[in-house]
């Protein structure tokens, strides 16, 4: 048994399996395995009995599935080929489009003309700074950090319900997946953020804005999310460790894509508080 385990350990590629498995790569390789097995079976059927050809084809397909399970892909170089040649429409079907930002709960729809900064100023959350920019108001800053500190794992459903994306009595947990933090309800993704601190900042903001935005209950979930996410942009310190925040651009690599993002991250703990795709075409122009 130990020898077999050792062999499997040498064959397995953890960077492409388990939580790191790329779904588009897996689907593409399973399709290739199925097509190759079918072609092999069809060709063999011309020379041997149909039952024998079918058995060989089935064996080849099962062997290919084992390789995909162990290594993440069947065709060598699949991650590179997927990044380079798989159409963005296909990647988007799996939430892997190169230009897509981190997906937040309820972000689709809403009012495209929503003035996020204007609404936050009306709510008393933002005010002009000395340099003419906008900053968090003192009372909002203090209340927000207090709420973030008090937000426990058992309090997640309430704020998510105030965002309009889950029922108040839902069983929700925050889990780490592929450099993101995901809110999971009954195995279903209810929302995704850049990090756990980013998620908790938005959830705490939802609690505060519920009482500060007069028509909060009438807003679409997408607009509520845009307001909490818009408020997060104005964080001055990391809600997890109080470290200083730094703005920078960097390359985000995933199993299927490579993209440039503008990110706000904590110098102390490394948590990413906000990121947005960089329009490289606009920069080049």
Tokens 């991250």 sit on residue: 265
DSSP labels, 92-152: HHTT--TT-----TT-SSS-TT--HHHHHHHTTSEEE-TTSSEEE-HHHHHHHHHHHHH--
The reported pTM is: 0.63
**Could you give the angle at which helices 196-212 and 138-150 cross, rounded to 10 degrees?**
120
CB 224 within 8 Å of CB 106: yes
b/e for 14-42, b at 16 or more Cβ within 10 A?
A: eebbeeebbebbbebbbebbeebbeebbe
What is the percent of the chain where pLDDT is above 70? 72
* Per-residue pLDDT band at 50 (split at 50, 70, 90): confident
| Mean pLDDT, residues 120-129 | 93
The angle formed by the CA atoms of residues 80, 84 and 87, to the nearest 5 degrees, is: 125
Residue 202: per-residue pLDDT: 93
* Per-residue pLDDT band at 190 (split at 50, 70, 90): confident
Residue 283: per-residue pLDDT: 36
The SS3 call for residue 278 is coil
74 vs 104, more confident: 74
**Whether the predicted pLDDT of 139 surpasses 80:** yes
Q: Tokens in use for 226?
A: 């845009």
From CA 209, how far away is CA 230, in angstroms rounded?
12
CB 250 within 8 Å of CB 260: yes
From CA 198, how far away is CA 230, in angstroms rounded?
12
Q: Which of 136, 107, 114, 262 is nearest to 205 (CA)?
A: 136
């Amino acid at each position: 048994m130990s020898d077999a385990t050792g062999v499997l350990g040498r064959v397995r590629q953890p960077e492409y399996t388990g939580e790191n498995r790329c779904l588009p790569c897996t689907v593409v390789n399973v399709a290739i395995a199925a097509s190759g097995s079918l072609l092999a079976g069809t060709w063999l059927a011309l020379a041997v009995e149909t039952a024998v050809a079918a058995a060989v084809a089935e064996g080849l397909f099962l062997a290919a599935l084992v390789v995909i399970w162990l290594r993440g892909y069947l065709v060598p170089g699949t991650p590179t080929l997927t990044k380079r040649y798989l159409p963005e429409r296909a990647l988007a079907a799996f939430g892997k489009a190169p230009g897509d930002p981190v997906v937040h709960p309820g972000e689709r729809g809403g009012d495209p003309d929503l003035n996020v900064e204007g609404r936050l100023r009306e709510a008393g959350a933002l005010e002009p700074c000395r340099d003419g920019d906008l900053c968090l108001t003192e009372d909002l800053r203090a209340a927000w950090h207090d709420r973030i500190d008090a937000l426990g794992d058992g309090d997640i459903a309430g704020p998510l319900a105030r965002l309009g994306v889950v029922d108040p009595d839902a069983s929700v947990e925050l889990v780490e997946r592929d450099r993101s933090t995901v809110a999971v309800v009954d195995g279903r993704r209810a929302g995704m953020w850049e990090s756990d601190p980013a998620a908790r900042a938005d959830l705490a903001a939802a609690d505060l804005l519920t009482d500060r935005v007069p028509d909060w209950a009438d807003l679409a979930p997408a607009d509520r999310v845009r307001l909490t996410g818009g408020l997060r942009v104005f964080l001055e310190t990391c809600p997890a460790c109080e470290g200083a925040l730094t703005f920078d651009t960097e390359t985000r690599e995933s199993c299927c894509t490579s993209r440039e993002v503008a990110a706000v991250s904590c110098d102390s703990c490394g948590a990413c508080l906000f990121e947005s795709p960089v329009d490289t075409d606009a920069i080049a122009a």
